[in-house]
Amino acid sequence: MITDLKDRITRRDYTVGVIGLGYVGLPVLLRFWQVGFRVMGFDVDAGKVKRLTVGESYIRHIAHETVQPLVGSGRFTATTDFSRLAEADAVLICVPTPLDAHRDPDLQYVVQTADAIAGTLREGQLICLESTTYPGTTEELLLPRFQARGLTIGKDVFLAFSPEREDPGNSASSLAVISKVLGGVTPACGELAEALYATVVGRVVRVSSPKVAEMTKLLENIYRAVNIALVNELKILADRMEIDIWEVIEAAATKPFGFQAFTPGPGLGGHCIPIDPFYLTWKARAYGLSTRFIELAGEINQAMPAWVVQKVMEALNSCGKPLKGARILVLGVAYKPDIDDQRESPALEILTRLHQQGALVNYSDPHVPRCYGHRHYPALDLVSLPLTADTLRAQDAVILVTNHAAFDLDLIRDHAPLVVDTRNAFKGVPSSKVVKA
């Protein structure tokens, strides 16, 4: 069977289904379509399905022009009908894996998706989980559900894990050029999954098991979380010592070996770094271990929005103004520059904390016309203000949280009475005008 399936992949006589059409799933679907496969997109959000069906993108950094060719190609379907999963030869799972209120893994979307696939599973299908999760998920949650169908994994159906490495808004790190780590439940599973992914990426890195692939993705993000926490902690110390941490980092980065520069900020955001490390801390407890580095890094990074608010308060006090009643404009509510993704953005907590302390808060973000509080900040609902000289002059302080390329730094410097800069964007501007945080 596997020889026939690989031959069909080579001939593009093969249908790739993608479950979850968000920041990860939509680029995956587009890439497989671009290289000639039939593609099916599955999502519970009827709005997304409707927009894709008429050739519209709902993700700002993915242009309508990229999506429009899908329509009328004869190789594309988008649907909310999960009973059609049997029509796909390969099913790639790209659903969210958030944390619950206790910062434990919330795998409800993975479980619901696995149940839906199990209900239609047929011989010859390849199932690959791409959602970031703890080591063991593929074999502990998906494998038993598929085996219960009476099908042999590695012979009748095939199961693998290959973590997404999507970097929204970074055109230099598209799916086509990033190596794909992959672990199959059996060698045959890995062989078939490798044959499929090799058609859309430059290099597939086969590892010995799904657990290794799951752990690989966590290591990548934990490495970043721990190092960001380190420079965030040093930022606070340097501030007390009246040392510019950014100058220190620049100097250290001149060393040609043994050092990689990480930069501090107002806190972590996005779908990976603030969340993924805690999947491992949760799993580690089942083995009687405490991942202290990860937990400490989390504490430090989660404390950054509060530290930024404290710096705003101190900056206003130095001007003879209290935080209560102050007009404050947050610049950027997306979690990284030049995208519209607000997930886990530190700006949301900064806005909420400022409001709770009596400040009159607004924001400006050219990529996010309306700022919802999402799961953690349900009361937050603001509309972006235009970034004009009048808007800036009307504030008591502005806080640069996300350094979008569209922001006119000269305009901000010239008209904002006080700037709290969390990104070192105003390097060289006198401290009487700009406060680093």
Active site residues: 272
Q: How far apart are CA 221 and CA 278, in angstroms?
A: 11
**CA angle at residue 219 from 251 to 92, to 5 degrees?**
125
CB 161 within 8 A of CB 210: yes
Structure token digits, residue 177: 């050029």
Q: Enumerate the β-bridge partners of residue 184.
A: 160
CB 173 within 8 A of CB 205: no
Q: How far apart are CA 143 and CA 150, in angstroms?
A: 12
Nearest to 120 by CA among 79, 172, 75: 79
Q: How far apart are CA 431 and CA 418, in angstroms?
A: 10
Structure token digits, residue 200: 């859309």
Contacts of 14 (CB under 8 A, 6+ apart): 5, 8, 37, 38, 89, 90, 196
Nearest to 383 by CA among 417, 423, 351: 351
Handedness of CA 302, 306, 307, 309 (dihedral sign): positive
Q: Is 17 helix (H, G, I), strand (E, B) or coil?
A: strand
Handedness of CA 227, 230, 236, 242 (dihedral sign): negative
Rounded alpha-carbon distances, angstroms, from residue 319 to 325, 353, 418, 428:
14, 21, 9, 21
Instruction: Based on DSSP, count helices (H) and strands (E) in the chain, helices before strands.
Output: 16, 15
Structure token digits, residue 30: 């587009």
CB 326 within 8 A of CB 313: no
DSSP letter for 386, please.
P
